[in-house]
Chain A
Amino acid sequence: MKQSISLRRLQKTLASGSASRCARRVLGARSPRSYSTHPPNARLNIPVDYSTTPLLAHTSQTALGSSELPPEVRNSTTKRMNLFQAINDALSIALTGDENVLVFGEDVAFGGVFRCTMKLAENFGGDRVFNTPLTEQGIVGFGIGLAAEGMRPVAEIQFADYVYPAFDQLVNEAAKFRYRDGSCGRSAGGLTVRMPCGGVGHGALYHSQSPESLFTHIPGLRVIMPRSPLQAKGLLLSAIRSNDPCIFMEPKILYRAAVEQVPLGPYTLPLSKAEVLKQGQDLTIISYGQPLYICSSAIQKAEQDLGISIELIDLRTVYPWDKETVFKSVQKTGRCMVVHEAMVNAGIGAEVAAAIQEHPGTFIRLEAPVARVAGWSIPTPLLYEKFNFPDVARIYDNIKKLLDY
């Protein structure tokens, strides 16, 4: 009853034109979001506090401190941005710097359903930033044709859950274009395909998926997932400039949640290079995207409770991935866990774990089996999301198991 009143009021306010303010009041005041609450006695499963997490650069100094940034950027200034603003900034820089860059997809012209393409059509014109008909295979196929003619198309798939109609184009065309063309020299390397991915609390079956491992099985594609605004900007600019077709997956839960200082001006971050976020001696946790924040929370608790130190690695590019950094860490710690939202079966964890056991230098150092903490082998069901994706308690428990082994 309560809900139906709210909905009616929502409709009314939408019709009256002052949608945003009133909608927030109605939804915010009357229907508290159950997915953002946590049990009162929870010690581990407390929602991530993005305003204090060590994974985000809360000050200009931290943001500019990265040795990966070029000197002129390190000496510049920063601006607070969330993830969608950082993506928008990167797209804007790409469009400014190269007239061959085009941005298109479903609903990108008015700014995109997640606001990533805000003002781009106004600033760069409808010929360079435009809506396409609602056809994923068309969007990617169109992008491949553009890339084959030397353009740098940045195509958007509205949700990673809807990339499957374009699968043939990505797998059989984009990924194999250069290989097939041989010394004729054409490729789809200029293509970047952006897509929001991952859980968001209530996305259920078709607004929660993380299909990255499907793409990692395809030689020819680079698969990238940033964890933060600063990283998203640098990695997206790298993807757009890369001469290999790139799948750029954006954890949509971070679009507004993750806010940090982002250097102004153009900069790139290296592809296929992992980042050690935190040094440790006793255990290595390997992850990418949003679960890194959960890992970080679990690490804080475990280190506090167990008096150990844990190394945290962000893969950043999940294929071709940075084996060297991972092997080096595991050789130091001897224990290892891979964490991701996507289903455990044939996921990134399977590939990373297999590579670790296969490598003589890491196999001999392993003191416990490689653990995989990931989504169960099910679709993501609406009501059960919090039991499906890795949370602090599951990671914490697996840390203990690995140490007790």
Chain B
Amino acid sequence: MLRHSVSLEDTELQYFFKGISLEASTRAASSISQRPGSSHVSFPGAVKSAFTSDLKFALSANSPALPTYRVVDQDGNVVDQSFKPDLSDEEVVKLYKTMLTISIMDVIMFDAQRQGRLSFYMVSAGEEAISVGSASVLDKGDVVFCQYREQGVFAQRGFTLNDFMNQLFANKKDPGKGRNMPVHYGTTQIPHAAGAAYGLKMQRMNDPSLPPRVVVVYFGEGAASEGDFHAALNIAATRSCPVVFICRNNGYAISTPTLEQYRGDGIASRGIGYGIDTVRVDGNDIWAVREVTKKAREMALEDGGRPILIEAMSYRVSHHSTSDDSFAYRARVEVEDWKRRDNPIARLRKYMEAKGLWDESKEKEARESIRRDVLKAFSEAEREKKPPIRAMFEDVYEELTPDLKAQMGELRDHLEKYPEEYDLSEFEGGTSSLRQ
């Protein structure tokens, strides 16, 4: 397929060519021309490349893997001596409890789905430090785009247990009005983040009294294979968007291990290719995640804005979702090993215990009280009515179109004619919401 090269009229052809030559002349003005005897290439596509008479391919296997930054080792000992904790003891305990809450909610909801009380669930076990840690250093005004394994971000940003449960049970208090699958708390998609970040940048340009804000977007290493990832990073770089890309590299996309996902040095190595400053971090170390996110946020706002990529390494200790049995494609022992050897919650616990902030009895008490709270929110949400049926027609457009009004009337007539064929009682207002 020949792109964009067919002229429409002779005149179009002229303009088409003329446009290109116009651009070329603008570039010529900034003097990208090859000087005789120059040691560097001056092709417009790569202006800093030195000539070489050595025929040598850049071998992917020869470039060293980017290192993984950590603050605290597996035993909870601080290994980055320059690290200065910026949280009070109470705040550390609070972070820990948030991670614990997510992990306890995960277990209960996973079981609830198994009992058929919920249609679907996805746990974030093993990745609590990435979500809670990164969210804990963001500003309230920062905009966050999530995939679906970031319950910790929501929890850290003020989502209550009731909020989670209302969404999971799709009841009338679910702001999503029961339209989306469970665990779809927010929206997905990586290029949106680039656009949103450009929007924030422009808004601040128009009104300098606005506080500086960044956009943070989370996605897995599997999603990074989508064209959207490429589009987003490239466009964010070329438009200098203040956005922090956080890739959760947990080793699996459903059943696909990373060896079948990519052959480069993870996701981080790609950032550099887009001209994006990049760091790889130990995702099981909440302190490291906090440090890199803090720094990334700062850098993203420097010099009018720029994108930053963080690759947070972890291991998906859970099944992909409730519709997945991960032992069909990986050994149970591998998972058990990760659970036992290293996980973000245990690591922070060790750190806290070493400082005398935590002990076994506090752990027991916290777990029991969180469990009680989760079950309370669970049963409250389960008892709540479903949203009015009318919600199925609303918000497709800003206003109901004549067609949708007519279809709503059609559905109402049908439901009133065959009331015994549908369970209407659980929906707020029954068929009455379908009246105009």
Interfacial residues, chain A to chain B (CB-CB below 8 A): 14, 17, 19-20, 23-24, 27-28, 99-100, 102, 106-107, 110-111, 113-115, 127-128, 130, 132-133, 135, 137-151, 153, 158-159, 162, 165, 168-169, 173, 177-184, 186-187, 189, 200-207, 219-220, 222, 243-244, 252-253, 255-256, 272, 320, 323-324
Closest-CB distance, B263 to chain A (whole angstroms): 23
Decide if A181 touches B11 in the complex (CB within 8 Å): no
Considering the chains assembled together, what is the distance between the CA atoms of A149 and B194 in angstroms?
11
Q: Is B435 an interface residue (CB 8 A)?
A: no
Q: Is B17 an interface residue (CB 8 A)?
A: yes
Decide if B232 touches A99 in the complex (CB within 8 Å): no
Considering the chains assembled together, what is the distance between the CA atoms of A156 and B232 in angstroms?
17
Among A114, A133, A138, A220, the one with the most B-chain Cβ atoms within 10 Å of its Cβ is: A138
Tell me which residues across on chain A come within 8 A of B21, comparing CB atoms.
14, 17, 19
Tell me which residues across on chain A come within 8 A of B190, comparing CB atoms.
141
Complex interface bits, B178-220 against A, C-beta within 8 A gives 1, otherwise 0 = 0110001001011111111111101101100000000100000
Decide if B199 touches A138 in the complex (CB within 8 Å): no
Q: Is B368 an interface residue (CB 8 A)?
A: no
Closest-CB distance, A153 to chain B (whole angstroms): 7
Decide if B202 touches A127 in the complex (CB within 8 Å): yes
Decide if A99 touches B206 in the complex (CB within 8 Å): yes
Considering the chains assembled together, what is the distance between the CA atoms of A90 and B200 in angstroms?
25
Select which of B15, B16, B187, B234 is within 8 A of A181 by beta carbon. B187
Decide if A149 touches B199 in the complex (CB within 8 Å): yes
Question: Given contacts A141-B192, A182-B175, are A113 and B19 in contact (CB under 8 A)?
Answer: yes
Question: Given contacts A133-B235, A180-B176, A182-B395, are A145 and B11 in contact (CB under 8 A)?
Answer: no
Decide if B14 touches A19 in the complex (CB within 8 Å): yes
Select which of B3, B232, B396 is within 8 A of A179 by beta carbon. B396
Considering the chains assembled together, what is the distance between the CA atoms of A168 and B274 in angstroms?
23
Decide if A149 touches B196 in the complex (CB within 8 Å): yes
Decide if A158 touches B396 in the complex (CB within 8 Å): no
Decide if B235 touches A256 in the complex (CB within 8 Å): no
Closest-CB distance, B386 to chain A (whole angstroms): 13
Closest-CB distance, A29 to chain B (whole angstroms): 11
Closest-CB distance, A190 to chain B (whole angstroms): 10
Interfacial residues, chain B to chain A (CB-CB below 8 A): 1-4, 6, 8-19, 21-23, 143, 145, 174-177, 179-180, 184, 187, 189-200, 202-203, 205-206, 215, 227-228, 230-232, 234-235, 238-239, 391, 395-398, 401-403
Among B16, B19, B191, B194, the one with the most A-chain Cβ atoms within 10 Å of its Cβ is: B191
Select which of B2, B8, B238 is within 8 A of A132 by beta carbon. B238
Considering the chains assembled together, what is the distance between the CA atoms of A183 and B194 in angstroms?
24
Considering the chains assembled together, what is the distance between the CA atoms of A187 and B191 in angstroms?
15
Residue of B nearest to A31 (CB): B10
Tell me which residues across on chain A come within 8 A of B179, comparing CB atoms.
179-180, 182
Question: Given contacts A17-B21, A146-B195, A149-B199, are A141 and B396 in contact (CB under 8 A)?
Answer: no
15 contacts between A and B (CB under 8 A): A24-B14, A100-B202, A110-B22, A137-B191, A138-B231, A139-B235, A141-B192, A142-B198, A144-B189, A149-B196, A178-B396, A180-B179, A203-B8, A256-B11, A320-B403
Tell me which residues across on chain A come within 8 A of B195, comparing CB atoms.
141-149, 153
Question: Given contacts A137-B227, A184-B176, A204-B6, are A113 and B395 in contact (CB under 8 A)?
Answer: no
Additional 8 contacts, C-beta under 8 A, given A19-B18, A177-B187, A324-B402: A20-B18, A137-B228, A137-B231, A145-B145, A146-B199, A150-B203, A200-B8, A222-B397
Among B13, B18, B21, B196, the one with the most A-chain Cβ atoms within 10 Å of its Cβ is: B196
Decide if A159 touches B19 in the complex (CB within 8 Å): no
Select which of A17, A165, A180, A203 is within 8 A of B187 by beta carbon. A180
